[in-house]
Amino acid sequence: MTGAERRNQLIEVAKSLFAERGYEATSVEEIAQRAQVSKPVVYEHFGGKEGIYAVVVDREMSDLRDRITSSLSSHRSRVRVEQVALALLTYIEECTDGFRILVRDSPVGASSGTYSSLLNDAIGQVTHLLASDFGKRELQPESAGLYAQALVGMVSVTAQWWLDERNPPKEIVAAHLVNLCWNGLMNLEPEPRLHGSDSAEA
Q: Tell me what pLDDT residue 139 has.
A: 92
Q: pTM to 2 decimals?
A: 0.82
Q: Tell me what pLDDT residue 70 has.
A: 85
Q: What angle do CA 40, 45, 48 make, to 5 degrees?
A: 65
Q: How close are the terminal C-alpha atoms of the chain, in Å?
A: 73
Q: Tell me what pLDDT residue 199 has.
A: 53
Q: Where are the domains of the chain?
A: 3-186
Q: Tell me what pLDDT residue 75 has.
A: 64
Q: Tell me what pLDDT residue 106 has.
A: 57
Q: Tell me what pLDDT residue 116 has.
A: 84
The 3-class secondary structure across the chain, one letter per residue, is CCHHHHHHHHHHHHHHHHHHHCCCCCCHHHHHHHHCCCHHHHHHHHCCHHHHHHHHHHHHHHHHHHHHHHHHHHCCHHHHHHHHHHHHHHHHHHCHHHHHHHHCCCCCCCCCCCHHHHHHHHHHHHHHHHHHHHHHCCCCHHHHHHHHHHHHHHHHHHHHHHHHHCCCCHHHHHHHHHHHHHHHHHCCCCCCCCCCHHHHHC
| Residues in Cβ contact with 26 at an 8 Å cutoff, skipping those fewer than 6 apart | 14, 17, 18, 49
Q: Tell me what pLDDT residue 118 has.
A: 86
| Residues in Cβ contact with 3 at an 8 Å cutoff, skipping those fewer than 6 apart | 45
Q: Tell me what pLDDT residue 73 has.
A: 77
Mean pLDDT by 10 residues, the chain (202 residues): 94 96 94 97 96 94 89 77 91 94 67 75 90 89 94 93 93 95 91 76 51
Q: Tell me what pLDDT residue 138 has.
A: 87
Q: Tell me what pLDDT residue 201 has.
A: 52
Q: What is the architecture of the domain spanning 3-186?
A: Orthogonal Bundle (1.10)
